[in-house]
Amino acid sequence: GQQVMQIPQYQHVQEGEDFTTYCNSSTTLSNIQWYKQRPGGHPVFLIQLVKSGEVKKQKRLTFQFGEAKKNSSLHITATQTTDVGTYFCAGNPGYSTLTFGKGTMLLVSP
């Protein structure tokens, strides 16, 4: 079955540093979605990427979808303590439902 791998599992940064999490799928995806889960909360949808090579920005967050539509990344510029949480990618192969990666837990120290 489809697998979605995320790295790193965990990252601890100082406030102001950048952060990147990477997502790789074993199969070509129809689209990829990113979610954020705050500690003690539930996953919340951030964005969906559909096109090969697509880049989308949300303030300090930049999302990319690879040319082969099998990988994606989320980059946060100048992290803030409010960025703390676990970031999940979720791949959609188009013939089934989403497969979530295991997530990258981000800790930001002030």
Partner 1 sequence: DAGVIQSPRHEVTEMGQEVTLRCKPISGHDYLFWYRQTMMRGLELLIYFNNNVPIDDSGMPEDRFSAKMPNASFSTLKIQPSEPRDSAVYFCATSGTGNQPQHFGDGTRLSIL
For residue 35, give both structure tokens: 């979610």
Q: In angstroms, what is the minimal distance from the CB of 16 to partner 1?
A: 28
Q: In angstroms, what is the minimal distance from the CB of 86 to partner 1?
A: 9
Q: Which residues pair with 13 in a beta bridge?
A: 108
* 59 is a contact residue toward partner 1 (CB under 8 A): no
Report d(CA 72, CA 107) in Å as an integer. Answer: 21
Q: In angstroms, what is the minimal distance from the CB of 47 to partner 1?
A: 9
* 25 is a contact residue toward partner 1 (CB under 8 A): no
- Measured at the CA of 102, the angle between CA 61 and CA 74, to 5 degrees, comes to 15
Binder to partner 1 among 39, 42, 59, 82 (CB under 8 A)?
A: 42
